[in-house]
Amino acid sequence: MPDPTPQPLDQLAERGRAQAPALVLRDRTLSFEELRKRVALLAGWLATKAGKGVRVASWAAKGELTCLLPLAAARAGLVHVPINPLLKRAQVAHILADSGAALLMGTKARIASLEEGDVPSQCEILDEAEVLAQAEAEGATLGLSDHDPEELAAILYTSGSTGKPKGVMLSHANMWLGAVSVANYLGLEEDDVTLAVLPLSFDYGQNQLLSTWYAGGSVVPLDFLFPRDVAKACASHGVTTLAAVPPLWVQLTGLDWPDEAVASLRRMTNSGGALTIDLVRDLRTKFPETKLFPMYGLTEAFRSTFLDPALVDTHPTSMGKAIPFAEILVIADDGSLATAGQEGELVHCGPLVAQGYWQDAERTGERFKPAPAMSEHGGTAVWSGDRVMRDEDGLLYFVGRRDAMIKSAGNRISPQEIESAALGTGLVAEAVALGVKDEQLGHAIHLVVRPSASAIDAEAALPKALQKELPNFMQPHVIHWRESLPLNPNGKLDRTAIAAEIGA
What would the pLDDT profile of 104-129 be if each residue is shown by its tens digit? 999 999 999 999 999 999 999 999 99
DSSP 8-state class, residue 475: S
- pTM, two decimal places: 0.86
* Residue 491: pLDDT band with limits 50, 70, 90: low
Question: Residue 193 domain-assigned?
Answer: no
* The pLDDT of residue 83: 96
Question: Residue 315 domain-assigned?
Answer: no
Q: What is the distance, to the nearest Å, from the Cα of residue 462 to the centroid of all Cα atoms in its chain?
A: 29
Which helix (DSSP H) or strand (DSSP E) does residue 241 occupy?
strand 241-244
* The pLDDT of residue 489: 57
d(CA 309, CA 207): 20
Query: Closest Cα partner for 294 from 269, 311, 273?
Result: 269
In which domain, by residue range, is 468 found? 406-502
* Residue 490: pLDDT band with limits 50, 70, 90: low
How many domains are contained in the chain? 2
Look at residue 502 and tell me whether its pLDDT is greater than 70: yes
* Residue 160: pLDDT band with limits 50, 70, 90: low
DSSP 8-state class, residue 338: P
d(CA 381, CA 351): 9
Q: Which of 147, 177, 202 is the last residue of a domain?
A: 147
For the chain, state the CA radius of gyration.
23
Q: Are 275 and 252 in contact (CB under 8 A)?
A: no
d(CA 474, CA 466): 9
Question: Residue 2 domain-assigned?
Answer: no
**H-assigned helices in 63-202:** 64-75, 89-99, 108-112, 128-138, 172-186
pLDDT in tens, 203-224: 999 999 999 999 999 999 999 9
Q: What angle do CA 132, 134, 137 make, to 5 degrees?
A: 110
d(CA 31, CA 14): 11
pLDDT in tens, 368-412: 999 999 999 999 999 999 889 999 999 999 887 666 778 898 887
User: Which CATH number is 429's domain given?
Assistant: 3.30.300.30
Question: Residue 95 domain-assigned?
Answer: yes
Q: Are 418 and 470 in contact (CB under 8 A)?
A: yes
User: Which CATH number is 72's domain given?
Assistant: 3.40.50.980
Q: Which of 115, 147, 179 is the last residue of a domain?
A: 147
Look at residue 161 and tell me whether its pLDDT is greater than 90: no
d(CA 474, CA 491): 28
Question: Residue 378 domain-assigned?
Answer: no
pLDDT in tens, 290-322: 999 999 999 999 999 999 999 999 999 899 999
pLDDT in tens, 34-86: 999 999 999 999 999 999 999 999 999 999 999 999 999 999 999 999 999 98
Q: Which of 147, 163, 179 is the last residue of a domain?
A: 147
Question: Residue 71 domain-assigned?
Answer: yes
Question: Residue 211 domain-assigned?
Answer: no
Q: What is the overall mean pLDDT for the chain?
A: 93
* The pLDDT of residue 16: 97
d(CA 142, CA 152): 19
Question: Residue 60 domain-assigned?
Answer: yes
